[in-house]
């Protein structure tokens, strides 16, 4: 009896709240959360009484800034398109309702009230019995390459993959993740010990139990994990713990072993451990700053493999400017000091900045000074073969959002390497239309080129796709890859054409089919891929 009484109270409470929200929505004030390239997001949604089609007015200092219309609703947020803009929209601008669409009549009949009570009762029962929020997908695939050259390098690869997420286990903050893939490689012949004619490969990318709560000071991960806080550590079989010291500050530590790199098998040869401290201030509606300082060590069978300090900083200024920096400083001891001749060595440094002066224009510029570093596994490689400055240079890009659903982008990189007599250049660009002629046609034109001391080449391609009835999609592509050696002795051109179809079978059951034909100087043959999967 007590349960039924509480259900009635809960149903009555929600009905009252819904009626009050609908009546007061025109007097409520909201705020701009952030801006994307096309939409404005506010901090009010369905639970605050808003509806799709409502028109909103942005005001600042008593002045009208812009008019919006809601195009998508969540419980406590809304995505809006801009109808009219007089001034530049900024995060935290005030928003009020200008015009509402017609609301349904909130005066419920006795039958509707009974249905509402039954609905609340069912939802209450479901929440009591549901032990986890389950999501992910499972699929089966077949890939094949038929080589029509005299090299006869035919290849077949059936396989399967699983991505499983169990969130909020037993209505708590525990989560379980599993991501794995199995495939069978069937080659026309054996090429090496690591590439036999036939082999099974089973890889587990993630297998972990986590406790993740924003409201609790202590969080952890255990199992096969990847440490997001420290770049360069990679996968470990072990544990990571985090302790929140204050609202903005937390510390953490991790320890474990490195899986065998090729078959993803458990191994105890390489051990890793370290700790970190991170600081976070602000949010994406205004200014946000995040920093991580860490120290990590890697040891193989008791010998030093690598020890380093890691520093990462990111800044975000109200949707206009963002800056990211990462750095790794190796501490060399024993054989590492003998090999490099240095006690301290800057092995990796990366800096990038993005500036969006206008809603339709975005500029990016970066400096990449990442280098190869020696570990116990690369210790025996001769200096003549070990590249100690593999990736170093500048990179940049420009992005334009044009009328009629067109997007234009261009990018370039310039890299240098010790011992090279000239730099390496790469460049590219693309023109994309996501809804050509308002017919849900995707058109993509791309161009990539490069030039270095040994060769130069370019790769233009075109792709056109169409969404068709029933959630299906078909895509046609053509490309050409041409390169020339610097001595001019030989120019080679390869071409390919492909067709791809995404098929929605029944609800969450889907299929992907691809076929590609290659012809030219290096490659002549057929590629095919088929996948059938289920999203849950």
Dist CA 409 CA 363 (whole Å): 10
Domain 392-536 has CATH 2.40.160.10: yes
Task: Tell me how crowded residue 20 is: count the other CB atoms within 10 A of its CB.
Answer: 12
pLDDT computed for residue 7 by the predictor: 47
SS3 of residue 469 by DSSP: helix
The per-residue pLDDT for 381 is: 73
Where in the chain are the domains?
2-111+116-124, 392-536
Residue-level pLDDT at 14: 44
| Element at 114 (helix H, strand E) | helix 110-129
Tell me what pLDDT residue 375 has: 83
Distant-in-sequence contacts of 118-126, Cβ < 8 A, 24+ apart: 120/7, 120/10, 120/11, 120/14, 121/7, 124/7, 124/10
User: Is the separation of the CB atoms in 195 and 175 below 8 Å?
Assistant: no
DSSP character at residue 248: S
Nearest to 91 by CA among 450, 346, 356, 278: 356
Question: Residue 18 CA to chain centroid, in angstroms?
Answer: 37
198-205: long-range contacts, CB 8 A cutoff, minimum separation 24: 201/262, 201/263, 202/263, 202/264, 203/263, 203/264, 204/178, 204/179, 204/180, 204/259, 204/264, 205/179, 205/180, 205/181, 205/235, 205/264
SS3 category, 213: coil
Structure tokens at 6: 């509480």
Cα angle 406-408-412, degrees, rounded to a multiple of 5: 165
- Do residues 484 and 457 lie in contact, with contact meaning Cβ atoms separated by under 8 Å? yes
Matching fold, domains 2-111+116-124 and 392-536: no
Reading the block at residue 36, the tokens are 């994307």
In whole angstroms, what is the distance from residue 493 CA to residue 485 CA? Answer: 12
CB count within 10 Å of CB 237 equals 19
- Euclidean distance between CA atoms 42 and 93, whole angstroms: 9
C-alpha to C-alpha distance for 56 and 50, rounded to whole angstroms: 10
What pLDDT sits at residue 207? 95
pTM beyond 0.75: no
Q: How far apart are the first and last CA of the chain?
A: 37
Residue 467 is predicted with a pLDDT of 85
Closest-CA residue to 484 (of 476, 492, 495):
492
pLDDT of residue 387: 59
Please give the backbone phi and psi of residue 314, each rounded to the nearest 5 degrees, phi first. Answer: -140, 135
CB atoms near residue 111 (< 10 Å):
8
- Quick one: angle between helices 2-24 and 110-129, nearest 10? 110
Residue 474, burial from CB neighbour count under 10 angstroms (0-12, 13-18, 19+): middle
Find residue 225's DSSP bridge partners.
236
- The dihedrals phi and psi of 26, each to the nearest 5 degrees, come to -70, -15
State the DSSP code for 101.
P
- Give the pLDDT of residue 194: 80
Q: What are the DSSP calls for 486-512, one per residue?
A: TTSS-EEEEEEEEEEEEEEEETTEEEE
Interatomic CA distance for residues 410 and 253, integer angstroms = 41
- Token pair recorded at residue 364: 């990016």
CA atoms within a 13 Å half-sphere pointing along the CA-CB vector of 240? 27
Q: Which helix (H) or strand (E) holds 309?
A: strand 303-317
HSE at residue 402, side-chain half, CA atoms within 13 A, is 15
pLDDT of residue 107: 56
Residues of the chain falling short of pLDDT 70: 1-26, 103-130, 382-391, 418-420, 488-489
CATH C-level class of 2-111+116-124: mainly beta
**DSSP-based three-state secondary structure for 340:** helix
């Amino acid at each position: 009896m007590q349960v039924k009484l509480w259900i009635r109270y809960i149903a009555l409470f929600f009905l009252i709240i819904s009626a009050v929200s609908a009546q007061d929505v025109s007097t409520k004030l909201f705020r701009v959360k952030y801006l994307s390239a096309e939409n404005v997001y506010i901090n009010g949604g369905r639970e605050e009484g808003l509806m799709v089609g409502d028109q909103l007015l942005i005001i600042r200092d008593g002045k009208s800034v812009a008019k919006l219309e809601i195009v998508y609703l969540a419980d406590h947020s809304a995505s809006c398109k801009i109808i009219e803009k007089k001034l530049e929209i900024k995060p935290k601008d005030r928003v009020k309702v200008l015009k509402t669409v017609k609301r349904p009549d909130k005066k419920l009949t006795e039958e509707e009230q009974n249905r509402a009570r039954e609905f609340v009762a069912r939802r209450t029962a479901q929440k009591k019995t549901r032990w986890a929020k389950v999501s992910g997908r499972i699929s089966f695939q077949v890939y094949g390459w038929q080589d029509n050259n005299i090299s006869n390098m035919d290849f077949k690869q059936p396989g399967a993959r699983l991505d499983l997420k169990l969130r909020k286990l037993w209505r708590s903050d525990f989560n379980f993740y599993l991501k794995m893939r199995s495939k069978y490689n069937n080659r026309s012949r054996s090429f090496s010990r690591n590439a036999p004619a036939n082999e099974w490969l089973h890889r587990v990318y993630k297998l972990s139990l986590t406790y993740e709560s924003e409201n609790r000071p202590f969080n952890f991960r255990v199992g096969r994990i990847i440490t997001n806080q420290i770049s360069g550590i990679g996968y470990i079989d072990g544990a990571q713990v985090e302790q929140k010291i204050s609202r903005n500050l937390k510390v953490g530590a991790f320890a474990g072993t490195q899986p065998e790199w090729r078959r993803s098998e458990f191994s105890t040869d390489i051990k890793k451990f370290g700790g970190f401290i991170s600081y976070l201030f602000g949010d994406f509606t205004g200014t946000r700053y995040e920093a991580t300082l860490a120290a990590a060590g890697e040891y193989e069978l008791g010998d030093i493999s690598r020890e380093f300090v890691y520093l990462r900083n990111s800044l975000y200024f109200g949707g206009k400017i963002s800056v990211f920096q990462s750095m790794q400083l190796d501490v060399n001891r024993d054989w590492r000091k003998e090999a490099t001749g240095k006690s301290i060595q800057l092995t990796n440094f990366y800096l990038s900045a993005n500036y969006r002066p206008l809603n339709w224009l975005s500029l990016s510029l970066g400096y990449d000074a990442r280098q190869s570093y020696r570990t116990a596994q690369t210790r025996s490689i001769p200096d003549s073969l070990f590249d100690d400055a593999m990736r170093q240079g500048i990179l940049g890009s420009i992005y334009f959002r044009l009328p009629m659903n067109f997007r234009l982008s261009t990018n370039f990189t310039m890299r240098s390497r010790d011992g090279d007599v000239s730099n390496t250049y790469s460049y590219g660009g693309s023109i994309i239309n996501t809804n050509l002629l308002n017919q849900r046609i995707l058109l993509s034109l791309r161009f990539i080129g490069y030039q270095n001391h040994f060769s130069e080449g370019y790769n233009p391609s075109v792709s056109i796709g169409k969404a068709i009835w029933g959630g299906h999609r078909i895509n046609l592509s053509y490309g050409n890859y041409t390169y020339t050696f610097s001595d001019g002795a030989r120019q080679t051109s390869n071409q390919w054409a492909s067709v791809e179809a995404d098929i929605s079978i029944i609800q969450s059951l889907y299929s992907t089919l691809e076929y590609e034909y290659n012809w030219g100087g290096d490659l002549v043959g057929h590629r095919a891929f088929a996948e059938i999967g289920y999203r849950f």
